[in-house]
Structure 1
Amino acid sequence: MRKFMINVNGKSYEVEVEEIREGTTVKPAAAPASPAAPKAEAPAQAAPKAEEPKAKPIAAPAGATTVSAPMPGTILDVKVKEGDEVKKGDVLIILEAMKMENEIMAPQDGKVVSVAVSKGASVNSNDPMIVLQ
């Protein structure tokens, strides 16, 4: 159990977070310590959900262009596959971010060398998604 002090809108809250590691059992927590500040109510523990697919790391060959995620989001569709020839402006990926569909386009003509994401994957800003050569 780890304790953290969190400030929300100018108010401080002391919270306790239990770290759960794979393969370990969770022991019930001891009696709560007296709070130094108002304690945020812990939300009801949700059932564990299936882990979202993540973008896999890729190595770009020398002289290649890496197309990275411009913002965090979820991959709705991958329009190309390895070996495809693309022209500048062709749509490579549809990325959902902030409930909007964003078309990620090829920055140049080239051949798709590697695709690091798949439909449903979550990406963060600057995560590599496609390599063009």
Structure 2
Amino acid sequence: MRKFNITVNGKSYEVEVDEVMETSTTAASEPKAKAAPAPKPKVAPAPKKAEPVKKQAPAASGGGETVASPMPGTVLDIKIKEGDTVKKDDVLFILEAMKMQNEIRASKGGTVAKISVTKGASVNTGDTLAVLK
């Protein structure tokens, strides 16, 4: 008989195993021992998930263009105000993601119709940051 220590899901068990040499005489004459079932480990309850932040629906912009967040992160700075005129490639927001500051730029020129986030807000990919007309 051999003893082994086995760890399952972080819990250690000591098991004993009989070594069986199957031959035509021993296999028929000796019954095989059944292994005792291992005790079921207790499962910890799943942690409660925080409720997801509701995505802000794009405003009915009447032909305006939505500036969406390209990645999840935190809005560090807002470089525009409602009513400002922006040109293509102007910096609109500074978004921190993975310890890096990313500039969110305008894809086209226009007037800022609505700013949908505040400084310090957490955003997910696809969340509306602003609407340009």
Q: TM-score, normalised by structure 2?
A: 0.60
Tell me which residue corresponds to 1:32.
none
CA contact (8 A) 1:55 1:121 kept: no
Instruction: Output aligned runs, 1:13-32, within 5 Å.
Output: none
Tell me which residue corresponds to 2:71.
71
| TM-aligned CA deviation for residue 37 of structure 1 | 3.2
How far apart, CA to CA, are the structure 1 residues paired with 2:105 and 2:95?
11
Q: Which deviations, in whole Å up to 9, do the C-alpha atoms of 1:35-66 show, x marking residues without a partner?
A: 943656x9xxxxxxxxxx98754513121100
1:77 to 1:38, Cα distance in 2 relative to 1, 3 A: same
Highest CA radius of gyration, 1 or 2?
2
Q: Which deviations, in whole Å up to 9, do the C-alpha atoms of 1:2-21 show, x marking residues without a partner?
A: xxxxxxxxx869xxxxxxxx
Q: Which runs of 5+ in 1 are unaligned?
A: 1-10, 14-34, 43-52
Q: Which runs of 5+ in 2 are unaligned?
A: 1-7, 11-38, 47-52
1:123 to 1:36, Cα distance in 2 relative to 1, 3 A: farther
1:84 to 1:12, Cα distance in 2 relative to 1, 3 A: farther
* 3-state SS of 1:74 partner: strand
Structure (1/2) with the larger helix percentage:
2
Tell me which residue corresponds to 2:96.
96
How far apart, CA to CA, are the structure 2 residues paired with 1:54 and 1:119?
17
Tell me which residue corresponds to 1:23.
none
Runs of 4+ in 1 over 2 A off after TM superposition: 35-40, 53-58
CA contact (8 A) 2:56 2:127 kept: no
Tell me which residue corresponds to 2:15.
none
Identical amino acids, percent of aligned pairs: 55
How far apart, CA to CA, are the structure 2 residues paired with 1:119 and 1:39?
41
1:109 to 1:12, Cα distance in 2 relative to 1, 3 A: farther
1:65 to 1:93, Cα distance in 2 relative to 1, 3 A: same
Q: TM-score, normalised by structure 1?
A: 0.60
Tell me which residue corresponds to 2:106.
106
* 3-state SS of 2:112 partner: strand
Tell me which residue corresponds to 1:83.
83
CA contact (8 A) 1:60 1:131 kept: no
Tell me which residue corresponds to 2:5.
none
1:83 to 1:36, Cα distance in 2 relative to 1, 3 A: farther
